[in-house]
A and B are shown apart, each in its own frame.
Chain A
Amino acid sequence: KAGVTQTPRYLIKTRGQQVTLSCSPISGHRSVSWYQQTPGQGLQFLFEYFSETQRNKGNFPGRFSGRQFSNSRSEMNVSTLELGDSALYLCASSLGQTPLNEQYFGPGTRLTVT
């Protein structure tokens, strides 16, 4: 069974631009979570979507947003990029009603903001 896929894998953007990242969960999974990983802050929770609804949200500014489609694919958008948004963005999928350990991570999208 195919794992979680994220596209693109690498991205370079300029300060002030916006970016959209995509995550395709494992077939049958209805929950998608997004995390930001930076050297200074480690892995930080952004938000979680389940059946097209945002169910949980972390402490990030409104520039970070997401959505989930009816096929469970999810996108996250960052507007007005700042240098500090340079990070590895990870998504994780799960059935959505199972213990947390049954959450599978994708390889991530490496975003560099210049």
Chain B
Amino acid sequence: DQQVKQNSPSLSVQEGRISILNCDYTNSMFDYFLWYKKYPAEGPTFLISISSIKDKNEDGRFTVFLNKSAKHLSLHIVPSQPGDSAVYFCAASENSGGSNYKLTFGKGTLLTVNP
């Protein structure tokens, strides 16, 4: 059973526009969420995270929104740049900040930003 779901396998946007990547989760014990970006032949790179005590976290062009009641989070990239083209993974964990390093990942969304 997939506890973290990214229902869009791919997304294509124009340079300069907003990219919105979505993620849903089913495990109510998840309390820490992360987004990773992955280029081919490289490991995932951390982008941004959010704790369940917040509903928004911003870092430059990247903003993550968390809706706990809907068990939904989204990553907004504004403005989108061609270099943002990559696979984006949503991940979740229980007991954030503790010794639980077990991440549950979604299957990823391939973002393509067209010049």
Expressed in whole angstroms, the minimum distance between the Cβ of A8 and any Cβ of chain B is 14
Expressed in whole angstroms, the minimum distance between the Cβ of A72 and any Cβ of chain B is 14
B contact face: mostly helix, strand, loop, or mixed:
loop
CA A102 – CA B36 in complex, angstroms? 12
Docked-complex contact A103 and B101, CB < 8 angstroms:
yes
A residues engaging B (CB < 8 A)? 4, 31, 33, 35, 41-45, 48, 50, 55-56, 58, 90, 92, 94, 96-97, 99-108
List chain A residues, Cβ under 8 A from B93. Answer: 100
Docked-complex contact B99 and A42, CB < 8 angstroms:
no
Determine the residue in chain A with the shortest Cβ distance to B36.
A105
B residues engaging A (CB < 8 A)? 32, 34, 36, 41-46, 49, 89, 91, 93, 96-97, 99-108
Determine the residue in chain A with the shortest Cβ distance to B89.
A43
Docked-complex contact A4 and B43, CB < 8 angstroms:
yes
Docked-complex contact A108 and B89, CB < 8 angstroms:
no
Contact for B101 among A33, A42, A104, A106, CB less than 8 A: A33
CA A103 – CA B105 in complex, angstroms? 14
List chain A residues, Cβ under 8 A from B46. Answer: 101-104
Docked-complex contact B49 and A101, CB < 8 angstroms:
yes
List chain B residues, Cβ under 8 A from A55. Answer: 99, 101
CA A107 – CA B39 in complex, angstroms? 10
Given A56-B102, A99-B97, A107-B43, list of 7 further CB < 8 A pairs? A33-B102, A45-B103, A48-B101, A55-B99, A56-B101, A103-B101, A105-B45
